[in-house]
Structure 1
């Protein structure tokens, strides 16, 4: 019986530092997410989805008489966003991502960087940089997509047998 108690205590004592380390790792990840405004990601997504929903409703040319119906759908849409896209519903998943990708030491370094003046500037300027990067990528894709379409059309002609329209199938 004493051996079981000693064994159990050994297990508890050896696991305790690992658990403590995991808690620290997760706490650091939470801090990193906070100082980089990562916790606002869902709010930004909700804003984007709301804009898409608004554009969709504008394209439907909904008549004024149907506005009460639209208001009901809009309320349902907003409720879904509020309930299903709340930060507290996915926060642990984001923390899991950070703790999987970055070691505790990595996160300590990142927290130090993002707490510096340069890190704060990066956090402030990153949304603008990303938006402008998307514009550049979109413009570049306008020249790439036609080339890819031409290539896939050539491949289709090369590999997919063409039907011979001159030969009539026999009944």
Structure 2
């Protein structure tokens, strides 16, 4: 039988422990990547396409606001107004095309592959397929709406203070002598 002296045994134990910890640390780095099918399952379960589709009208509404603001800042004749409407329509078409599921799905797949392991993707898909996951998806729009209202309520006093500060600065500048 081979006999190992206590100092050598400690060194061997430390070496073995270091090897085990090293392997454990690189384990996630060499985890299997998810397949396209795995990611497609997750995207379907998480309703990624319908979420994207529901964002488009909001983006178009913001775009519309910008066009209305541009038009209100200038006196546009009928020809210019018609040009502005055509530009708005073209912009909406461009946005819809650029943000279409057909265009973005390959990007989603690539990003999920770069970010998550197969195990991560499968666990998320299982969660979103569960009743708890579906409930989360059903309630997320209401949650986001409530968060926006709460943030606006929280920010309102700050905006009031900011408005007072701006008025004080403007009043200071108008009260200051011109020959400074």
Aligned mates of 2:158, 2:117 — CA distance in 1: 38
Match for residue 68 of structure 1 among 57, 75, 82: 82
Per-residue deviation, residues 31-87 of structure 1 (Å, max 9, x unmatched): 212221112344233212210122233332476834533331222112211322222
Alpha carbons 2:42, 2:121 under 8 Å: kept: yes
Question: Using the alignment, how far apart are the partners of 2:159 and 2:76 within structure 1?
Answer: 38
Work out the number of aligned pairs and report it.
Answer: 134
Question: Which one of the candidate residues 144, 154, 165 is aligned to 1:140?
Answer: 154
Structure 1 Cα separation of the partners of residues 109 and 142 of structure 2: 25
Deviation at 1:117, TM superposition (A): 1.7
Change (3 A) 1:99 1:145: farther
1:97-145, Cα deviation, whole Å (9 max, x unpaired): 3233332112212211211222111111112112211221232234467
Residue 99 of structure 2: aligned partner: 85
Matches within 5 A, 1:143-158: 143=157
Q: Where do 5+ consecutive residues of structure 1 fail to align?
A: 1-20, 150-171
Task: Give the structure 2 partner of residue 39 of structure 1.
Answer: 49
User: How is 1:16-55 mapped onto 2 (pairs within 5 angstroms)?
Assistant: 22=33, 24=35, 26-55=36-65
Please say if residues 34 and 118 of structure 2, whose CA atoms lie closer than 8 Å, have aligned partners that are also in contact: no
Match of 2:115 among 101, 120, 125: 101
Determine the C-alpha separation between the residues in 2 that align with 1:32 and 1:130.
22
Q: State the structure with more CA Rg.
A: 2
Q: Which of residues 104, 111, 114 in structure 1 aligns to 2:128?
A: 114
When normalised by structure 2's length, the TM-score is 0.58
Query: Does the 8 A contact of 2:34 with 2:121 survive in 1?
Result: no
Distance 2:83 2:33 in 1: 50
Runs of 4+ in 1 over 4 A off after TM superposition: 143-147
Structure 2: gaps spanning 5 or more residues: 1-31, 163-180
Q: RMSD value over aligned CA atoms?
A: 3.5
1:57 and 2:67 are equivalent in the alignment? yes
